[in-house]
Chains A and B, each alone.
Chain A
Amino acid sequence: QVQLVESGGGVVQPGRSLRLSCAASGFNFRKFGMHWVRQAPGKGLEWVAVIWYDGTKKYYGDSVKGRFTISRDNSKNTLSLQMNSLRAEDTAIYYCARDLVDSDGYSVGFDPWGQGTRVTVSS
């Protein structure tokens, strides 16, 4: 079955960096776009970043643009998120999610989601 397993979360001081990973299995990883979505404690969902199936296109949410970098290794079925210059407001559970495309082949959302990895930015 399709499985997404995030790792790399932890406690980090403001201004420092952290790298998250997502191991994918059960589907042809290189054929799907992949996303990161986060959820701050007690808050709603916020889309973070997307990478095209072949890595040629990447888009970021305004709150992380210039600080976070999404990447993928299709040979290892792995998605990554490099997070630099971390701020307290980046504290959240970070989910990786496979791109959900509509009947015309356009990206519309997310399915499935991993279980998430928790990032806490605090001094």
Chain B
Amino acid sequence: NFVLTQPHSVSESPGKTVTFSCTRSSGSIASDRVQWYQQRPGNSPTPVIFEDNQRPSGVPDRFSGSIDTSSNSASLTISGLKTEDEADYYCQSYDSGNWMFGGGTKLTVL
């Protein structure tokens, strides 16, 4: 199995753009779909990106996802940051009967 590595925390100001990375330790990032989940304090996770770059209905187009095979990583970008975006963000992928999560990145909007 591979490991998904995320930075522990990120801080940015309202209105700015922030990008989270999720690096896969082995095997190609393109081999398996990557999902991103937002978890606000005290709430359950909700998906904001699935299949690398697809937004679920109801998720604003300020959220976008991509993969980069050169760095073997996936990225979640949030533009026009709002205070309501402050949350933990987890990447997730699948491999051979195992569903793996990254350790999560805490986004602070200040």
Query: Which residues of the other chain, B, contact A61 by a CB distance below 8 angstroms?
Result: 98
In the complex, the answer to whether A116 meets B44 with C-beta atoms within 8 Å is yes
Given the known interface contacts A44-B101, A44-B104, A108-B35, the answer about A114 and B44 at a Cβ–Cβ threshold of 8 Å is yes
- Chain A binder among B12-20, B21-29, B45-53, B74-82: B45-53
Measured CB to CB, the closest approach of chain B to A87, in angstroms, equals: 20
Query: Which residues of the other chain, A, contact B104 by a CB distance below 8 angstroms?
Result: 44-45
From residue 28 to 78 of chain A, which have CB atoms closer than 8 A to chain B?
35, 44-47, 50, 59, 61
For B36, give the chain A residue with the smallest CB separation.
A109
User: How many B residues touch the partner, as a band?
Assistant: 20 to 34
Query: Which residues of the other chain, B, contact A110 by a CB distance below 8 angstroms?
Result: 35, 37, 45, 47, 92, 99
Measured CB to CB, the closest approach of chain B to A112, in angstroms, equals: 7
Is chain B's binding surface mostly helix, strand, loop or mixed? Answer: strand
Given the known interface contacts A44-B101, A59-B98, the answer about A113 and B90 at a Cβ–Cβ threshold of 8 Å is no
In the complex, the answer to whether B50 meets A109 with C-beta atoms within 8 Å is yes
In the complex, the answer to whether A47 meets B46 with C-beta atoms within 8 Å is no
Given the known interface contacts A95-B44, A102-B33, A116-B44, the answer about A46 and B56 at a Cβ–Cβ threshold of 8 Å is no
In the complex, the answer to whether A47 meets B100 with C-beta atoms within 8 Å is yes
Is chain A's binding surface mostly helix, strand, loop or mixed? Answer: strand
- Complex CA–CA separation, A50 to B97 (angstroms): 9
For A4, give the chain B residue with the smallest CB separation.
B44
In the complex, the answer to whether B46 meets A113 with C-beta atoms within 8 Å is yes
For B102, give the chain A residue with the smallest CB separation.
A44
Query: Which residues of the other chain, B, contact A106 by a CB distance below 8 angstroms?
Result: 33, 94
User: Which of A44, A95, A108, A114 is close to B50, meaning CB atoms less than 8 Å apart?
Assistant: A108
21 contacts between A and B (CB under 8 A): A44-B102, A45-B37, A45-B39, A45-B45, A45-B101, A46-B101, A47-B99, A50-B99, A95-B44, A100-B35, A100-B50, A102-B50, A106-B33, A108-B51, A109-B35, A109-B94, A109-B99, A110-B45, A111-B47, A111-B56, A113-B45
